[in-house]
Chain A
Amino acid sequence: MQDKTFVGPSWDDLRRLLGKVEKPARYTGGELGAVRKDLEAAGVTFALAFPDVYEVGASHLGSQILYSVLNSLDFVACERVYMPWTDMEEILRAKGWPLFTIESRAPVGSFDIVGFSLQYELTYTNVLAMLDLAGVPLRSMDRQERHPLVIAGGPCAMAPEPLADFVDAFALGDGEELVVDIVRAYREWKESGDRRTELLKRLSHVEGVYVPSLYEVVYDGGGARAIPKDMDGFKAPAAVKRRVIKSLEEAPYPDKPLIPLIPPIHDRAMVEIFRGCSQGCRFCQAGMLYRPVREREPETVDRLARDILERSGYDEVSLVSLSSADYGYIKETVSRLLRESPCGARVSLPSLRVDSFSVGLAEMLGSSSASGLTLAPEAGSQRMRDSINKRVTEEEILEAAASAFSAGYSRLKLYFMIGLPGETDEDVLDIARLASRIRQIGRDKGRRPTVVVSVSGFVPKPNTPFQWEPAVLPDELRRRQRLLRGALRGPGLEYRYHEVDLTVLEAVFARGDRRLGAALEAAFRKGCRFDSWPDNVSLQAWEDAFSETGVDPSYYAHRERDKDEVFPWDHLSPGVRKAYLWKEREKSREALTTHDCRAGRCTGCGICVDYGVAVRLAGGKEGPLMAEKVDQ
């Protein structure tokens, strides 16, 4: 049906040009664990695309899982492609070479499916650049049968409208089973010889797949309602539910980890110990999107860790989750791994709570007291911490700091956000006061402490209780930054902050609708790439793109939404109910906290009831499906 070639640039041609680019090994593949199948013979070819540089993409566990799942299917050949850095893009364009996969140097445009992972909004111009470099028409409506099916998953796929014109189908939720259903549906369509529109219709009936071209969007006031089009009697589902795997225990896990030849940003073995988080932090999108909590059994964690350490040669394994200290068997698992793992491997926990238990864990891990300890109180005042449901008291924070100093740490890094809903200057100044108290504790413990205060601007995210809230205006955010910086002067206090302009750009696209697509394409045409890289982003180009396409960024970033506004992502169900999110938003205004449901008391978010999945804790404990018994 399709005239495709999998022959890209020859190795000899490529190697004579790679000397001109930064980090050429980004493009040469050959990693341990890389899979090369016969692309010509495969029933379905899949290019797994990550719209950021190799070192970032190669660290992404989700992509590794999908790579492994796809290549485990005998009819699928999956290869990877990452966004080339700007120097390599120049070479590709100058030579007229198509974007190629790193396993076979095969042109991405020749694959049946190109699947992007959308981890953050500021990679969207890279998605367009990769499509363009691959020779794939940017807009779905311009693609024909010979072009790849362009799909995208990841957290941003739950609010994907800015990309709706460019992506044929979005994959919502856990990918392990969903991606298999997608390639099967694709194979059936390919064998049928039907038109491309039939493929899209077929996909729209796969649970967890959203095909934006099958919906029209009606803009009404501030709202954007997506309605299935009537296509000669065919209608896509009015709402698309996120896919949720019931148990992580039975979920596939890469048995042959990919070991890059150059260090990726997380250069260690990784084992996901649980998925989901029920801490309920109101700013946290991942905490709402990946519910319910599903833990792996400690024996499985142990086995996977040993296997991966042995096969990779790594001397460190990271027990990955959204809040690793919450894992039911964390101490036992860590201590067993430290005691029995091959060659005395180290264990790391990427996300710790702010409490003495976590500091104790860090101490147990033998974290280098020279490198310091990172804690995330997120807000300086108790009122703000209660408001965002970061259920930690100042006493606990100070205790954690005291434990850290006692354990030999002298450098503490503290993460905070400013610009949170309801924040006052006093709340901002409380960040400085808290940091000073922590410094004093360090001094009292006989240390010469350094307290690093790292501050980012808050971005309201879809599918969180703060999705109705405006982002603080850039000038105001800068004023608060200055206020904090002024209060943080003194020995032993360091202040770091994120670029305000990037925060605004992220806030625009996080809650964007389909009308943003024109601005996105204009920005891409003006050369915008790697917008999350402060040295690389071109704010002038973005300003021009917004202005030329008639988009007011403030409408998306700085507007407070009404309670009943229909959001551009409302037809995509994350599992957590909108009514629950609103209730949480109201509680945040009164600084009322909501407990963690992990202990068994349901908070009524809706995921277990609506999706028929339960919280699964290690040790065979299964949380009840708590429909009726909602404990406030």
Chain B
Amino acid sequence: MKVRAVYEKGDRVRFLGHLDVSRCIQLALRRAKWPVEMSQGFSPRPKLSVYAPLPVGVAGLREHFDAVLGGRPDIGTLARAFAVSLPEGFVLHELYPMGDEETPFEESIRASSYFVDMKGVKRETVKHALEAFLEAPQVLFDVRRPKRTKRVDLKPFVLGVGEPEEADNGRVVLDMVISHDKGRTVRPQWIISSLGEFGLDFDPREAIIDRRKIIFG
């Protein structure tokens, strides 16, 4: 039986990377005694797929993983056991059985909706930078990896950006929707970083970013 879990990678665990999240989920599944099937072969692994990796620093309010289980255990029992096995900062929102004919997750995902929270910037500055960003024909950004640097045009990935708003404690918040194209997407930090070219003086590493939801198409 295949099940899908919708869970939250909350504020307190936002600094975990994708592999860390996968490890936490695996440990919690074993504590919850889920009968997760193992792959065959030389080095068996649990049949577990944790989807749509979030970068270190980004929280996710509705994240997803699938697990393949032996037998047909009761969903309610599974959910209760897993919910109490999760470390602080993770929350299980939904758990449901999956049909065999479902579209693979990575193919069905169309976009991610993010909430961005910046402190110490003026709303007007953010607004102007965003407007300039949206008007530019392309916005090239260098993604630096340990062994190579890749240049990517951010523009096509940005499906929408909300009006920046002022919030308490000198914060400016905004929403943005970023597309996923056959597994390819860009990070909201890259977009914030690229706003430097358009007059925003803000270190993107200081932005608090939450993925509010994944949009399926």
Contact = CB atoms under 8 A, between A and B. Distances in A.
Nearest to A314: B27
B28 interface: yes
B43 interface: yes
Interface string A256-287: 00010111000000000000000000000000
B206 A313 contact: no
Interface string B33-61: 10000000011000000000000110000
A17 B206 CA distance: 6
Contacts of A17: 206
A310 B208 CA distance: 35
B93 interface: no
A19 interface: yes
Contacts of B207: 19
B31 A312 contact: yes
A18 B31 contact: no
Contacts of B17: 262
Contacts of B56: 19, 24-25
Given A19-B57, A20-B203, A263-B20, A311 B208 contact: no
A329 to B, nearest CB: 27
Interface stretch (B8-16, B99-107, B159-167, B177-185): B8-16
B30 interface: yes
A341 to B, nearest CB: 12
B30 to A, nearest CB: 4
A218 interface: no
A389 to B, nearest CB: 39
A261 B206 contact: no
Interface stretch (B72-80, B82-90, B125-133, B149-157): B82-90
Given A18-B57, A261-B20, A310-B31, A30 B13 contact: yes
B46 to A, nearest CB: 9
Contacts of B85: 313
A33 to B, nearest CB: 10
B29 interface: yes
B20 A313 contact: no
A28 B9 CA distance: 14
A424 B89 CA distance: 59
Contacts of B20: 25, 261-263
A20 B56 CA distance: 11
Nearest to A18: B15
Nearest to A311: B31
Nearest to B171: A12
Nearest to A24: B15
Interface residues of B, number: 34
B24 interface: yes
Interface string B107-145: 000000000000100000000000000000000000000
A30 B12 CA distance: 8
Given A15-B11, A20-B205, A262-B16, A30 B89 contact: yes
Interface in A158-186: none
Contacts of A19: 56-57, 189, 204-207
Contact of B28 (A18, A25, A310, A313): A313
Nearest to B10: A30
A315 interface: yes
B27 A313 contact: yes
Contacts of A30: 12-13, 87-89
A16 B24 CA distance: 24
Most chain B beta carbons < 10 A, residue from A30, A312, A313, A368: A313
Most chain B beta carbons < 10 A, residue from A16, A262, A311, A370: A16
A17 B13 CA distance: 15
B12 A16 contact: no
Interface string A339-350: 000010000000
A372 to B, nearest CB: 15
A31 interface: yes
B16 A16 contact: no
A32 interface: yes
Contact of B23 (A31, A32, A263, A310): A263
A249 B42 CA distance: 38
Given A313-B26, A343-B30, A25 B15 contact: yes
Contact of A16 (B33, B42, B87, B206): B206
A143 B212 CA distance: 50
Contacts of B119: 16
A20 B33 CA distance: 37
Interface of A: 11-12, 15-20, 24-25, 28, 30-32, 259, 261-263, 310-315, 343, 368, 370
Interface of B: 11-17, 20, 23-24, 26-31, 33, 42-43, 56-57, 85, 87-89, 119, 169, 189, 203-208
11 contacts: A11-B11, A15-B15, A16-B208, A19-B206, A24-B15, A25-B15, A261-B87, A262-B17, A310-B31, A313-B85, A368-B43
